[in-house]
Amino acid sequence: MIEFSIKTRTLNVGDRKGQTVYYAAPKMQQRMTNKMVIDRIVRETSLSAGDVRNALTSLSNIVNEALAMGASVDLADLGSLRLTVPSKMMDSPEEVTVEKALKTPKITFTPKAAMKDAANSVKLSIDRLKEAAEEDEEEENTGGESGDGGGATGGNPL
């Protein structure tokens, strides 16, 4: 699950300059370390930790070499990596040169269906506890009611 908090910002440019806007920002992104990946693969296979570490290092080296040659890399059920080089629009064919027209190469990852499904299945929630506490504080200060029921709607259901 990825939990978000509500943040605020005052816009400095554009039609909405000076307007306060609200947006959702992740509280903290969970992270699986390299050691955690290695340990998990060791548990699910008959490989040793050293074998897995060597395989991951080799995979990194192979991907780096392939990308340096401009080749794409198919990573089986994960997806594929390829280089994309955006180009600027020029007024004449003579202006289209490596220096003028081509931008910095970028690495593009295209996930396979199973990885897309995994990403789409992640649970998302917005922590409204802080917002509810501010509303409660306002009610105490003004003696009024907000009328929306307040509470921690959208929070962690556990």
User: pLDDT of the chain along its 158 residues, tens only?
Assistant: 888 999 999 999 989 999 999 999 988 878 899 999 999 999 999 999 999 999 999 999 999 999 999 999 999 999 999 999 999 999 999 999 999 999 999 999 999 999 999 999 999 999 887 655 666 666 665 554 444 433 444 444 43
CA 112 – CA 74 distance, rounded (Å): 10
Q: DSSP label at 33?
A: -
Single out the residue of 29, 20, 27, 32 nearest to residue 6, CA to CA: 27
Which residue matches tokens 């992740």? 26
Beta strands in 16-105 (DSSP E): 20-26, 73-74, 79-84
Q: How many CB atoms lie within 10 A of CB 79?
A: 17
Bridge partners, 81 (sequence order): 73, 109
CA gap 63, 59 in Å, rounded: 6
Q: Which two tokens stand for residue 54?
A: 């060597």
94 sits in the region (left: phi over 0; alpha: psi -120 to 50; else beta) called alpha
